[in-house]
Amino acid sequence: MNIHPLKIGNTEARVPVIQGGMGVGVSLGSLAGAVAKEGGIGVISAAQIGFREPDFDTNTKEANLRAIKKEYEKARTIAPEGVIGFNLMVAMRHYEEYVRAAIDAGADIIISGAGLPMDLPRIAGESKVLLAPIISTEKSARVILKYWGKRYRRMPDLLVIEGPKAGGHLGFTKEQLLEYGEEHGTDRTCGAYDEEVMRILGAVREYEEMFDCKIPTALGGGIENRSQAAHAFSLGVDAIQAATRFVTTEECDADIRYKEAYIRADKEDIVIVKSPVGMPGRAIMNPFMKRVMAGEQIPHTPCHRCLHKCNPAEIPYCITDALIHAAKGETDDALLFCGAYAYKAKRLETVKEVIDSLIG
C-alpha cells in the first residue's frame, strides 16, 4: 500500500486517515483528540452536541454552541498539534451559526454533508478554515464543484466521497443501494461503486485543471481493514475515512453499552432503516427498531428543532431522542447507527490499534 501524508492546502496530516463524524455524542472531543494525536484527522460531530448541557431541552441552540467550544478545547488539549475538525450537517437547523461557532472555536477543517453545502464558502468568509464537502455520486460532485467555482471562484480544500456501506444516513436512494448491492448487505456488485468513484475522480481532475489547483480526495464507507484501505488508495484517493471502526475504541465518547451493542451484533442484525425524515440509513436491529418497523408511534420529548424537514406531528419517533439514548447506553430504546461491517467488531481497541490495523 503506497500512502503519503495527507496535504490539504498548508495543513498536513501525517496519517491519511479521517475519523468520520458520528452524532449524537459518539465522536466528541475525546475520540477526535485521540485520532489527531496519532496523526490522523479527528472529527467532532456537532449534531446535538450539547445534549449533556443542563439546559439542552429548554435552550437547545445555545447549549450546542457552548458544547462546540468545550469539545474542541477537550480535543485540542489531547492533541495540541493535531488536525481537528467538525462534521456539520447541512440538514441541521441553525447550520450557519454552528459553522461560525466551529470556526470561532479554532477548527482546522469543516466536513459537511447530509445535503450539499452549497454556500459554505460564504459562511466561512475570510477565515482560514479548510472546507470539505461530502458527496456520494459524480452528479453531486459536479454540482458542488460547478457551483463553488462559478459563485465563489474557489474549489473545496478536500472532497470526501462517502460510499453505500457507510453508517448512519446514506446519500443514496433505495434504488441506488440496490444497484450497489447494499440493500441486502451483499457484495454482488462490489465493483459498481468503484466505477462511480472513478467518475468522481475524473470530475475532480477536470476542475483541478480548470482552477490550477490540487483537490485532495478521501474515500469512506465500509473501510474496515487493511485490504479495504489498500483498495481505496488503489483507486487514486489521497486518504480514507473510517467511522465504525472507531466506535469500539476505549477513547470513543459513547457509553460502553453502545460499544458492546456493536460487539454483540451479528451480520444479520445490520439493516437498512428509514429515518424519521425519510432518508435511508444503516443501523443495528434492536427492540426499538422492531417497534418502529411494526408501525408503532414512539412518544417523544418536546421538539429540539434539529432538522429542517422534520415535522414533530408526523414522525414515527424523534431522531434526537433515539440517538441520545444510544450515546447514553440505553440501547433498547435507541437508534444504533452503524456501518456495514459493525458486526466484525469483537473487542474494545485503542485508536492507535485501529489506525495501525488500517494502514500500518
Write out pLDDT tens, residues 319-337: 889 999 999 999 999 999 9
Percent of the chain exceeding pLDDT 90 equals 78
pTM score of the predicted model: 0.93
- DSSP secondary structure of 78-114: H-TTSEEEEEEETTBTTHHHHHHHHHHHT-SEEEEES
Write out pLDDT tens, residues 122-162: 999 999 999 999 999 999 999 999 999 999 999 999 999 99
pLDDT in the model for residue 298: 81
CA-nearest of 338, 346, 320, 11 to 165 is 338
**Which grid coordinates are listed for 248?**
469500539
Which amino acid appears at position 328 of this protein?
K
In the chain, what is the greatest distance between 2 CA atoms, to the nearest angstrom?
55
CA-nearest of 25, 136, 144, 44 to 88 is 44
275 within 8 A of 281, measured Cβ to Cβ = yes
pLDDT(184) > 50: no
Q: State the chain's mean pLDDT as an integer.
A: 91
Residue 299 burial (CB count, 10 A): 8
